[in-house]
Amino acid sequence: MPLIAALRPTAARAVASRNISFRRLQSSYAAHNPYLKDFVYKDTVRVKDGALTLSKDEHSMIDRFIRVNQAGETAAVSIYQGQMAILGNRGDIELKKLLEHMREQEVVHLEIMDKHIVDFRVRPTILQPVAAVGGYILGATSALLGVKSAMTCTEAVETRIGMHYNDQLRDLHELKYPQLDELKQSIAKCRDEELEHLDSAVDHGSQMAPLHKLQFELIKGGCGVAIWLCERI
């Protein structure tokens, strides 16, 4: 309880900043993207290369993919913020650079997904604040258990997210619309960089953490539940 109380103000600021940034992004895209003006989102998706007509199932699938991806990248940014809050000032320059590098890549991923949210007019999940706060608490808690446990957290999260992005790419591969090429490329980029984070975590001793298997499976399973919920809510 003391840990959660200590983290609550920082996490709350992160959520507030995140929500403000997203509203600004929406306003900016609405002002500059002619396809969004007076747009009714049914089974025709307006993207920058022109109108795209999808079946209801295709439309629903893309909706779910972008919604959950935005939430996932929100959580990822917060995880690294939480880890940096605990481990960033311990004098380990290499570790600090690694965490900063992974966080910066996650920020870019989130910006990409924010753009797709607006371009495809997807409703964000109502669990977005939960993703931000939960990610921060997970990152900070894993870091409090030690560097190797923090790396186990990264290993577990990135393993599940890599699988998740691969599943999406397989489904999107069946859709041959050229207007979806940018979305496919974005997901592939995020997938590849998440797997780089996985490799870095293993290289930094994730599998030598105490109770590694238990920590790994709990976090990986939790990510699976979060994915299921954020796709639908």
Q: Which ranges in 88-204 belong to alpha helices (H)?
A: 93-119, 128-144, 147-173, 181-203
- What is the C-alpha to C-alpha distance for residues 34 and 31, in angstroms, rounded to an integer? 8
As a whole number, mean pLDDT of residues 1-9 equals 49
Count Cβ atoms below 10 Å from residue 189 Cβ, excluding itself: 15
- What is the C-alpha to C-alpha distance for residues 161 and 72, in angstroms, rounded to an integer? 8
Least confident stretch, 31-45, 58-72, 107-121: 31-45
Confidence band for 18, pLDDT divided at 50, 70 and 90: low
Q: Does 104 score more than 90 pLDDT?
A: yes
Phi, psi for 162 (deg, rounded to 5): -60, -45
As a whole number, mean pLDDT of residues 140-161 equals 98
Q: How many residues does the chain have?
A: 233
CA 200: distance to chain centroid? 18
Q: pLDDT tens for residues 182-207?
A: 999 999 999 999 999 999 999 999 99
Least confident stretch, 29-43, 51-65, 87-101: 29-43
The model's pTM:
0.79
Q: Does 173 score more than 80 pLDDT?
A: yes
Q: Does 6 score more than 90 pLDDT?
A: no
Confidence band for 50, pLDDT divided at 50, 70 and 90: low
| Coil vs helix vs strand at 9 | helix
Nearest residue to 47 (alpha-carbon basis) of 33, 57, 61: 33
